[in-house]
Amino acid sequence: MAKIEIEIDGKMVRAKPGEMLISVTDREGISVPRFCYHKKLSVAASCRMCLVDVEGAPKPQPACSTPISEGMKIHTQNEKSKSSQKAVMEFLLINHPLDCPICDQGGECELQDVAVEYGSDVSCFSEGKRIVADNDIGPLIQTDMTRCIHCTRCVRFGAEIAGIMEMGGTGRGDHLKIEPFLTEGVTSELSGNMIDVCPVGALTSKPFRYELRSWQMNSTSTIARHDLVGSNINAQTYKGNVKRVVSGDNDAVNETWISDRDRFSYEGLSHENRLLEPQIKIEGQWKEVGWHVALDYAVKGLTSNILNNHQSDQLGVMASKTSTVEEFYLLQKIAREIGSENIDYRLNIKNLDNTAKLESNIKLGGLEGVDHALIVGSNPRLEQPMINHRLRKASLNGTSVDVINSMKFDFNYQLNSENIIAPNQIASTLAGVLSSVLASVSIELPDYLQSIKVSKESASIAEKLNNSDNSVIVLGEHVVNAENSATIVNLIAQIAKHTNSTTLNLSTTANSLAAELTGFVPGSKGMNVNAMLESDLKAYILLDIYPEYDFHHADKAIDALNDKDNFVISLNGFKNDIVSEYSDVILPIAAFYETSGTHININGDMQSFAASVVAPGESKPAWKVFKVLADLLKLPGFNYVDSTQITEEVSHQAHNNHLHNENIDLSITSDNINIIWQQSPYSIDALLRHSGSLQQTKIGKLNFAYMNASVAKDLGVSADSKYLGVPVVITDAVADRCVFVNANKATQTGGES
Amino acid sequence: MNEVCFKNLDKKDSWSLAVYEASGGYSVWRKILRGELTPEQIIDELKASGLRGRGGAGFPTGLKWSFMPRNSAGQKYVVCNSDEGEPGTCKDRDILRYNPHAVIEGMAIGGFVMNATTGYNYIRGEFIEPFNRFEGALKEAYAAGLLGENISDSGVDFNLYAHLGAGAYVCGEETALLESIEGKKGQPRFKPPFPANVGLYGKPTTINNTESFASVADILSKGGKWFADLGVENSGGCKLFSVSGHVKNPANFEVSMGTPFKDLLEMAGGMRDGAKLKAVIPGGSSTPVLTADVAMAMTMDYDGIEKAGSMLGAGSVIVMDESTCMVETLTRLAHFYYDESCGQCTPCREGTGWLYRALKRITDGNGKDGDIELLLNVQDKIMGNTICALGDAAAMPVESFLRNFREEFEYYIEHGKSMVKG
Ligand SMILES: Cc1cc2nc3c(=O)[nH]c(=O)nc-3n(C[C@H](O)[C@H](O)[C@H](O)COP(=O)(O)O)c2cc1C
Ligand code: SF4
Ligand code: FES
């Protein structure tokens, strides 16, 4: 669009016609005060702080909602502008408590900042001030609504970004109150952003309440590692502790929002369960020792158990999917240098012969541009909140969304169709889609599709994909353990290929893309995790693993690791009884925020971060532990001084060559009750499980086995009993012949039916 | 007197379709349905009539209708503002009670001119009787085949619905009214965009006052010039004035624009109990108050009232006699705006509360030096800085009360009691 010229404070400025004046002044570095305006929210134009003088207009105009036009002349600093701004400032302050000394926002308060410039030091207001009663809106956000200036940023955030209007304005005039509509308070998975958008101290972080002043803390930018986005965050630290986390800006990744999970998980860092000292087990007794002793003990154990006997293939290494690129890389390098390819991170997969590869070939920003999305087996709102946010934005712009899931979830955007079917029917539905797609492009059907009858639902899903120019198929976590999971993945790949759709693979989260990239998977001569557990291996190195949470075959894993004849080296951030039981050495390691490293997100961005704080006690970053261990084992090629050298090396020799099942087999049509076992969103890693406030939220308390009445009857459970240790909820939201489990605790069976 | 909106006032069942049609009602609408009138002709006639919006702002109706993008694709709406919340006003209530078909015909004509096939009449929440009358009239009009789809095979569609408000004054502000129809909290929208471009449900919309719509059919049947000649230069036609306060016979009067105020006062039976006139608010509580002398010399038309220092507004004439304490009156008015501010924009939310609390303090006997300056200062800080005109409406009376009756305020502050009542 052709640019136009306007004059601001005597200076000629070029801008797009129709652009709001405030974006032009912001770009030009001209300061216009504001409260209600937020660049990622709709315009409210209600605080009136941004009033400026536009020549020709009798009244001052709000810069945030005045579209510019050719030849406009604006004065932001003249008497008329200043007197309006000062008037508004005075009005905002008359009922404000001015309790800055006891307000957590002090020092980072937009009202305080603007008042310094526009406020007066004497008030002519002598009437009684307004007082607003507070509601408890949940464990994450502290409210002090007497301080509220009614900018409605939080209300608009809820309605526009979080997609549920949990805060609203009730009452009118100076009885207007910003408050939650429901007694439940604020429960959105993105709720913490309200703290960031609130310009004053009305909404502040509850866990951080009365802790510190913002200027007492250092801020380091880092990367959140709980999901596939790698949101950019700022860790605010004081005397070596992370005290608060706020969002960072990165339009290509998280824009300016972060999930509550990324914001509040830091609380786990100071949990009393942190592991602080290296320890070794001598004759069944644990003993805290120094690092030298512990590492010597580890080396001796490895030497006597495998190295001396030339049984290096008897080593198994496993890591949590939250590990960093550097940690994955060094641990697999140690294994390979020793001579073992028994390497794996896919602990939660029931049948590793039944996995197939689906690539992600669309970026986060690209998601906003799709015209159609098909989501298979995912509750993206809770699993990948920031990816769901992009899908929601797309949907608001008219993108249609079809869903194939085994349970109805609370989507915060409109769905075109919601197909709720048990996992073992998903393959046949997708086969119908593929058949319909191939028919429409006149490609001969492969044998496996010959006998497939195309249902109405499949046909309409196919039609949507066919008719769209830019569609995406999103695969989630729920089908990874389905009986025909590889078939499902391969069908999706075929459908995507023939409809020119992009694909987005959300089936494994956190930093699992880094595991794939660094080759943290079994080599051609190696065993996968399930095979290792059956093979009585002689030695293990386990990185941040908590078996009862991490393994699908938890009982089997615990048994195998407890074998008397093996030697187990565990690196953990938190104490855990089961780990103590089977380990021979436990090495305390740095958690999130305490180590440098790299996360790979769904865009393929390698986002490196420095440590924000030093790890507590004797714990050390795992990459350093591996480096020293390798040196002690006299393995070549570990001369790293800092972790960036490792990252550099990884980018030169990425390998990823483990086997995938490329078959499409539609013969499995069992009528078994299908179980989808999923860790609840705030229990997916050890740090989260130790973050107190998150655990008290509604999402944190998700711990239910959902099923319909007929399945409950078949399983012999009822609404007040438990299934696999998880309280039962009877609901029609779940597909028939299917149980959907969201568990926050370990179970005896680890999801085995 | 009583030549347009009230012309059937003295007839039995004046609100019925039969009475309306007997006096020429729906003849214009039928002409349109027969294809004998074009939108351009209608707009020209309205412009010639000098009809100005009767909701308060006095914007020329013909001009307003010509702004609608009638040829753009998509739904368009026509909305009637019967929220009538301005203290002192009750004229629209009586139009709805006694002449609802004139509103229906006016809206239908508007719908045709602006290519809007759907109309809403937003009626003040407390107006149950007028609402029922209007609903009854709608039923009659539908039954007579005057509304609906493809009316009398003309190819013209017009559906009309009544919507009952819930008692907020601010919903009379046209964009708050649209929000309210949409089912949202009644808060004014910022402008631009204006409703003619982005209105109800985001579609082009024209909003007019009840009296404006009720005047349209007669203007078209008798001619713009006829209407213009009823009034004076710049103020065409006649106008409903709601006369209230210390008069013998408070009522609505439809008189020619330009009628002297003293004649209007006489029609209302003159001052009650022979008391002396003290002050007049000529256009509704939002317009500046005038002293007796000025009022008695004023004519009731846009220019006449403006010359006197106030505004015609909605034609709500509040008459006050010598027994009135102007400090307490202003306090009562300030309370109204404090109570009715929607609260979204800062100057109005905070300013109306401040004005009211300061005035309340004065009438409680706790006034202090500097209070008058304070009140003037606060009203000045509200003026012009708000989203909608409610802020200005709250500010304006303060300035005029203090200008015209300053000594009463000084007395109240100094003595802690009313100069008038003691
Ligand atoms: C606070 C406020 C209240 C209003 N109340 C009314 C009302 O009750 N009735 C009305 O017709 N106009 C009211 N208006 C004016 C409307 O916004 C609008 O100008 C009018 O309905 C347009 O119709 P007209 O052009 O026919 O006058 C009000 C305006 C404000 C700012
Ligand atoms: S001026 Fe008052 S009523 Fe109008 S938008 Fe602002 S707060 Fe609401
Ligand atoms: S920032 Fe423009 S009105 Fe609030």
The tens digit of pLDDT for each residue in B342-351 reads: 999 999 999 9
Of B345, B350, B357, the CB nearest to A46: B345
Tell me what pLDDT residue A654 has.
56
Beta pairing partners, B259: B300
Considering only CA atoms, which of B217, B273, B220, B214 is closest in space to residue B239?
B214
Tell me what pLDDT residue A543 has.
98
**Torsion region of B23: left, alpha or beta (phi above 0 gives left; psi -120 to 50 gives alpha):** alpha
Query: Scanning the structure block, which residue is given the tokens 């660049």?
Result: A39
Question: A707 in helix, strand or coil?
Answer: strand
Taking CB atoms and an 8 Å limit, are B361 and A127 in contact across chains? Answer: yes
The length of chain B, given as a count of residues: 422
DSSP A83-135: HHHHHHHHHHHHTS---GGG-TTTTS-HHHHHHHHH--SS----SPPP--PPP
In the reported structure, the alpha carbon of residue B71 is separated from the centroid of ligand 1 by a whole-number distance in angstroms of 26
Distance CA B267, CA A297 (A): 110
Considering only CA atoms, which of B124, B51, B133, B136 is closest in space to residue B89?
B124
What is the 3-class SS of A240-276, one letter each residue?
Answer: CEEEEEEECCECCCCECCCCHHHHHHHHHHHCCCECC
Instruction: Give phi and psi for B174, each to the nearest 5.
Output: -60, -35
Tell me what pLDDT residue A752 has.
47
Distance CA A500, CA A377 (A): 21
Q: How far is A733 from chain B (nearest CA, A)?
A: 30
Distance CA A317, CA A633 (A): 16
Distance CA A93, CA A81 (A): 18
In the reported structure, the alpha carbon of residue A151 is separated from the centroid of ligand 1 by a whole-number distance in angstroms of 26
CA A562 to chain centre: 33
Instruction: Give phi and psi for A657, each to the nearest 5.
Output: -135, 25
- The type of residue at B289 is V
Tell me what pLDDT residue A379 has.
97
| CA dihedral over B268, B273, B277, B283, signed as positive or negative | negative
Tell me what pLDDT residue A753 has.
42
The residue among A54, A124, A145, A156 with the most chain B CBs within 10 A of its CB, best to mutate, is A124
Taking residues B329-350, what's their average pLDDT? Answer: 97
Query: Which residue's CA is the closest to the ligand 1 atom numbered 30?
Result: B173
Distance CA A606, CA A651 (A): 9
Considering only CA atoms, which of B269, B287, B279 is closest in space to residue B325?
B279
Interchain CB contacts (distance < 8 Å): A and B:
100
The length of chain A, given as a count of residues: 753
- Token representation of residue B363: 């009438």
Q: What is the pLDDT of residues A272-297, one digit of tens each?
A: 999 999 999 999 999 999 999 999 99
Residues of A in Cβ contact (< 8 Å) with B370: 124
Comparing alpha-carbon positions, the chain A residue that sits nearest to B368 is: A126
- Cβ(B388) to ligand 1 under 6 A? yes
Question: To the nearest whole percent, how much of chain A has pLDDT over 70?
Answer: 98
Comparing alpha-carbon positions, the chain A residue that sits nearest to B387 is: A46
Tell me what pLDDT residue A241 has.
97
Comparing alpha-carbon positions, the chain B residue that sits nearest to A59 is: B384
The residue among A20, A88, A146, A167 with the most chain B CBs within 10 A of its CB, best to mutate, is A88
Distance CA A237, CA A244 (A): 7
Helix ranges (DSSP H) in B34-127: 39-49, 61-66, 91-98, 100-114
Q: What is the pLDDT of residues A574-625, one digit of tens each?
A: 999 999 999 999 999 999 999 999 999 999 999 999 999 999 999 999 999 9
pLDDT higher than threshold 80 for residue B375: yes
What is the 3-class SS of B233-292, one letter each residue?
Answer: CCECCEEEEEEEECECCCEEEEEECCEEHHHHHHHCCCEHHHCCEEEEECCCCCCCCEEH
HSE-CB of B219 using CA atoms within 13 angstroms: 34
Q: What is the pLDDT of residues B4-55, one digit of tens each?
A: 999 999 999 999 999 999 999 999 999 999 999 999 999 999 999 999 999 9
- Cβ(B212) to ligand 1 under 6 A? yes
| CA dihedral over B233, B236, B238, B244, signed as positive or negative | negative
Tell me what pLDDT residue A690 has.
97
Adjacency order of strands within the sheet including A285-288: A285-288, A279-282, A585-588, A567-572, A539-543, A315-319, A343-344
Of A65, A172, A173, the CB nearest to B190: A65
- The type of residue at A555 is D
Distance CA A582, CA A203 (A): 46
Is ipTM beyond 0.90?
Answer: yes
Instruction: List Cα–Cα distances, B389 to A174, A242, A265, B24, B287, in angstroms.
Output: 17, 50, 48, 38, 12
Q: What is the pTM of this model?
A: 0.94
Beta pairing partners, B77: B118, B205
Q: How far is A151 from chain B (nearest CA, A)?
A: 8
- The type of residue at A705 is A
Asked if A210 and A99 count as a contact pair (C-beta separation under 8 A), the reply is no
- Cβ(A635) to ligand 3 under 6 A? no
The residue among A61, A114, A126, A151 with the most chain B CBs within 10 A of its CB, best to mutate, is A126
pLDDT averaged over consecutive 10-residue blocks of chain A (753 residues)? 90 94 96 96 97 96 96 96 96 94 94 90 87 94 97 97 94 93 91 97 97 95 97 97 97 97 98 98 96 98 91 96 96 96 95 91 96 98 98 97 98 97 93 96 92 95 96 96 93 96 95 94 94 96 96 93 96 97 98 97 96 98 97 95 90 63 80 90 96 96 96 95 94 96 70 45
Distance CA A252, CA A288 (A): 46
Asked if A244 and A218 count as a contact pair (C-beta separation under 8 A), the reply is no
H helix or E strand, kind and range, residue A344: strand A343-344
HSE-CB of A539 using CA atoms within 13 angstroms: 26
Of B170, B343, B351, the CB nearest to A91: B351
Comparing alpha-carbon positions, the chain B residue that sits nearest to A64 is: B190
- Token representation of residue A8: 């601001």
Residues of B in Cβ contact (< 8 Å) with A47: 345-346
Does B192 sit behind a cis peptide bond, omega within 30 degrees of 0 on the bond before it?
A: yes
Distance CA A14, CA A11 (A): 10
Asked if B170 and B337 count as a contact pair (C-beta separation under 8 A), the reply is no
- Cβ(A45) to ligand 3 under 6 A? yes
- Token representation of residue A281: 């087990």
- Cβ(B170) to ligand 1 under 6 A? yes
Distance CA A675, CA B79 (A): 56
